[in-house]
Amino acid sequence: MEKRALWILILTSVVVAGCVDPQGVIGRANSDYFPLTLTSSWRYISENGGDTVALAVADYYEVGNDTVFVLDFIGDIWELLLQNGDILRHYRYNIYPSGDEVTLEDNYGSFIEFPFVDGNSWRYFYADTVEFRGVDYSYRHVVTGRCELISDFDVPYGDFEDVYRVTIADSVVTDTISAASTELYFARDTGPIAIRYNGELYKLVDYTNGE
């Protein structure tokens, strides 16, 4: 009877251990590869030389029980929401017919998905038609992301292993088409150690984790 009770105890322990909330693992992957705090900042220099530029948490606000970190990179504002282990971005698109502001999109959608797995991809799609003063304005927004393990990667800040390159393609279709692609290179415990933005590669020279 004692042996049977012992086996039940062991099996129960195994089942409980196997049912641990996976969000804990995903959360650690999130914080490991993109450690966001209210004072996090990364400083880069272009491969072509020149002045340094920063990716820094400039502000934050709350949405329900979640925190949105407002980051500034060369004047491009990223409003990033940490939710269920992933990072969503606040996508907002306005037009100004006759000087009036018309919002075609105001939504949170996929930006980066964790945990990083070589070859993983994700997609965000939003479409709407907004009527304003008798005129229909059609809008379509597509964001795709892809994660690739590129192993070793060197920047002025240091040499890193197990680096993941995340390529994000963003396209907006209204009466015109605009498209952009950004590459972010992530290293564990540091975050984005390089960013390819508008065709230029910026490499990390300094990192502050806010602690």
Q: Is the pLDDT of residue 193 over 80?
A: yes
pLDDT of residue 129: 96
Predicted pLDDT of residue 143: 97
Could you tell me the pTM of the whole model?
A: 0.82
Domain count, the chain: 1
CB atoms inside a 10 Å sphere around CB 195: 20
The boundaries of the domain holding residue 170 are 2-208
47-56, 105-114, 123-132, 160-169, range with the lowest pLDDT: 47-56
User: Of residues 65 and 167, which shows the higher confidence score?
Assistant: 167
The predicted structure's pLDDT at residue 71: 94
pLDDT of residue 9: 31
Sheet containing 200-208: give its strands across: 102-112, 86-95, 76-83, 66-73, 52-63, 41-46, 200-208, 191-197, 177-187, 158-173, 135-155, 121-132
- The confidence band for 86, taking pLDDT boundaries of 50, 70 and 90, is confident
Region 19-26 average pLDDT: 37
pLDDT, position 153: 95
CA 187 to chain centre: 14
Q: Which helix (H) or strand (E) holds 118?
A: none
Per-residue model confidence (pLDDT) at position 84: 78
pLDDT of residue 207 exceeding 80 = yes
